[in-house]
Every structure is written in C-alpha cells, then in structure tokens.
A = this chain, B = another copy of it.
Amino acid sequence: MAERTKLYEGKAKVLFATDDPHVLVQYFKDDATAFNGVKKGSIHDKGVINNKITERLMTILSAVGIPVHFLERISEREQKIRRVEIVPVELVVRNRVAGSMAKRLGREEGEPLSRPVVEFYYKSDPLDDPLITLDHIEVFGWASTAEIAWIQQTALRINDVLLGYFASIGIHLIDYKLEFGRLSQNPATLVLADEISPDTCRLWDMKTGKRLDKDRFRRDLGDVAEAYHEVAFRMGLMNSPGM
C-alpha cells in the first residue's frame, strides 16, 4: 500500500487522498474535544465505534433515497467517501430543547418541541460557529437559495428516518448536527457529509433518560466509552452491551 497523502485533519477525523481524485478515506480518531477545542481528551475505541455507527446510519439513509458521501467501510477506523466541498453552514436539527438552545433561550433541557426545528450555524472556529439566519446565508453567499431550500427539506426527511430508527432501539434522538457538501465530481449535486454518531447527536435512553452521547464527556458524567458502546450494541454492531 502506497503512502497516503493527508488532506485534512480535524478534531475527530482525518481525510486521506486515494488514487481516485473524487474519493477520499475518512479515518476516525479516538480524540474528543468540546467547547470549540477548549476541553480535550480521548474516548476509548470511539473511532472504531463511530466509524461503524456512521456506516450503518448512512446506509439506512441512502436506502431511503438520501444522497450521502459514504461509499463503504474499509477497516475498523476507515471508510471511503466521495470527495466534497463542505457547505460552510452546519445544521442542528432539534426534536427537544437541549444544549445551546436551552442556554441561549432560557428553556428547560428535555422540553418537547411542537415540531422539529432546523437551525443554521456558520462553520467558523474563530467565530465559534455562530447561529445564523436564512437571510445571512443568502446575502453572504454561503449557499444558494436553491441549495439551502433543498438542504432544509432533506434535513427534515433525514430527521424522520433517524427519529424512527433510534426509537426502534429505545433511544430518543434529541438533536444532532448535519453537514452537507457539493460533490467534487459535480458541484451541482449536494450530499450529506461528515458523520452521524454519539459525537454529533444527543441520544437519550427512552426508559431511564440516560445520556448516551458526547454530553457525558462535555459534562464529566462518566461512563463515556460505555455509552458509545451501548449505542453500537443496540444497533447490532457490537456483541456485548458492556466492555
């Protein structure tokens, strides 16, 4: 195997080039960060688990017609993906109040929302990913009006798929982050990119309310790796619930 070219290293993942200019390898690290990199740590086998969880969820979404960047998992920590230019607008889809929404708007965590709410954030570490409006996206040209309309509509479809899937394994999907990208091979085509995992979702056990996601790391709740493992176990990706 030839030496690979590292194209990008983020907080939780690394992207490598392949022989095909339109295909990359996405490598999942165990590194965990929170509060825009202020808090740093590591979660045992997180990379392995998130690689598998992302594979499973992207495969389900693809099966119902959502275009995704995911191609195939090729090792414990790696998956092949289609190369994209990431749209600099992150989405947060919320089914209940939690996290920054609770804090910014003075609401209780866990408050149900009468319908899913899609929020947009400008992807910028120096600016700490500020909340933005559709007008901001349009006037500053971060995405076209047609793109953002498609993204918003697609996010609501994704939400129905993921809500139902997680409900089937006893988990409330509280909120999560989504990123979209324009295919390098055809920038007119948008696909779901990045990952979907306990790093990027809030997942609460339906019976106990236990948090099975990165909030255990952010808030020092303990049992961090165990929670990630539990999600993978319920998804049929691990043989045992414990570790």
Contact = CB atoms under 8 A, between A and B. Distances in A.
Nearest to A112: B139
16 contacts: A104-B130, A105-B127, A105-B136, A105-B140, A106-B127, A107-B140, A114-B139, A115-B139, A117-B133, A117-B135, A117-B136, A118-B135, A119-B133, A119-B135, A131-B133, A133-B133
Report the copy number of this chain in the oligomer.
Answer: 2
Contacts of A127: 104-106
Interface majority SS (helix, strand, loop, mixed), chain A: mixed
A122 interface: yes
A74 interface: no
Closest 4 CB pairs of A and B: A117-B135, A104-B130, A106-B127, A113-B139
A134 B131 CA distance: 13
A65 interface: no
Contacts of A104: 127, 130
A155 to B, nearest CB: 12
Nearest to A124: B106
A142 to B, nearest CB: 10
A119 B139 CA distance: 13
Most central of A120, A127, A130 by chain B CB within 10 Å: A130
A206 interface: no
A132 interface: yes
User: How many A residues are at the interface, by size bracket?
Assistant: 20 to 34
A234 to B, nearest CB: 29
A126 interface: yes
A119 B118 CA distance: 17
Nearest to A115: B139
A113 B133 CA distance: 14
Contacts of A105: 122, 127, 130, 132, 136, 140
A133 B104 CA distance: 12
Given A105-B136, A119-B135, A131-B131, 15 more contacts: A104-B130, A105-B122, A105-B130, A105-B140, A113-B139, A114-B139, A115-B139, A117-B133, A117-B135, A117-B136, A117-B139, A118-B135, A119-B133, A133-B133, A133-B134
